[in-house]
Amino acid sequence: FSCNPCAALLRLLQPSCYPTPDTQGRQHKDCKKMKPYVMALAILGLADSISFMIVTPSLAFYVYSLGGSQDFYGFVLAIYSFASFCGKPILGRWSDVSSFMVPYMVSISLSVLGGLLYAIAPSFSGNNPLYAVAIGRILGGFGRANSALGFAYVARASPAKERTSTTALLSAVQMIGMAIAPTFSAFLHDINFNIVGVHFDRLNSVGLILVIINLASQVVVYFFLPDLPTVEADDDEDTEGNRNDSEWLL
C-alpha cells in the first residue's frame, strides 16, 4: 500500500498563499486562518460522497432481500437524488438568513436518522421494511443537500482569488470519496451480529456506517468549522468585492 495519493491530498489541503513583500505578514496570517475550515469542508465532502456511494453497490440486493421489486429499487435510487435536489435551495436560503451551523447540524441529523432507518428496516413487518428503506433514503437525500452549503461557505469565507482553487479542491475530494466508498463492501462481507434484537448483515450494516460517518461529520462541523455572519451582516463587504470583480472583468 502506497501513501503517495494520501500525501498528495494532504498537500492539496494546505492553503495556498503567494505573499508579496508588502503583504507578506497579512497573507501568512490569512493562510493560517483558512486551513481549519478548508480541512473541515474537505472532510465533510469526503464523508458526504462516501455516504452516497457506500449504499449504491448493495442497494439492489437489499431491496430484493426485503421483498422489493426492480421498480421499487429504481424508485428508492431516484428518490434520494430528488430529495437532495429539493433540499439544496432550502438549505441555501436557510444559510442566508441564519448561520451555517444550524442548517449543517439539522441536515446531518436527518442523514443520521435516515441511516438508522436504513439499518433497522428488516426489523419491521409486512411491507414496512421497504417503506423504512425508502424513508431512510429520502431523509439521507435531504441530508446530503448540505453539499451545497460547502460551496456557499467557500463563496462567503474565501478571498475572491482563492475561491476557484478551493472549490476545485472540494470537488476533487468528493470524487476521491466516490471512488473509495465501494471498497467498504469488502469489509462488510462477513458482518453477522445482533444489537438489541436487530440482526445486522452485510446489507443493512451499511446503515450503521452511515450513522457513524454522519455523527463524525457533526463533530467536525461543531469543533472545526467556524460559523459565519448572515448575508445581511456581510452585504457591504460582498458588494465591494463584486464591484472589484466587475472592474477587473471590464
Higher pLDDT, 24 or 132: 132
Reported as a pLDDT band with limits 50, 70 and 90, residue 157 is confident
Higher pLDDT, 226 or 134: 134
- Does 17 score more than 50 pLDDT? no
Reported as a pLDDT band with limits 50, 70 and 90, residue 187 is confident
Contacts of 42 (CB under 8 A, 6+ apart): 13, 169, 170, 173
Contact 42, 13 (CB under 8 A): yes
Q: What is the pLDDT of residue 231?
A: 65
Q: Rounded to whole angstroms, how far apart are CA atoms 124 and 197?
A: 12
Each residue of 85-126: pLDDT tens digit? 999 999 999 988 888 999 999 999 999 999 999 999 999 988
CB atoms within 10 A of CB 97: 10
Rounded to the nearest 10°, the torsion over CA 15, 19, 25, 31 is: -10
Q: What is the pLDDT of residue 74?
A: 96
Each residue of 45-81: pLDDT tens digit? 999 999 889 999 899 999 999 999 999 999 999 999 9
Q: Rounded to whole angstroms, how far apart are CA atoms 134 and 55?
A: 13
Q: What is the pLDDT of residue 21?
A: 39
Letter for the amino acid at 117?
L
Residues of the chain with pLDDT > 90, as a percent, come to 55
* Range of weakest confidence among 60-64, 68-72, 179-183, 235-239: 235-239
- Does 201 score more than 50 pLDDT? yes
- Does 20 score more than 50 pLDDT? no
| Residue-averaged pLDDT of the chain | 82
Q: Rounded to whole angstroms, how far apart are CA atoms 120 and 123?
A: 6
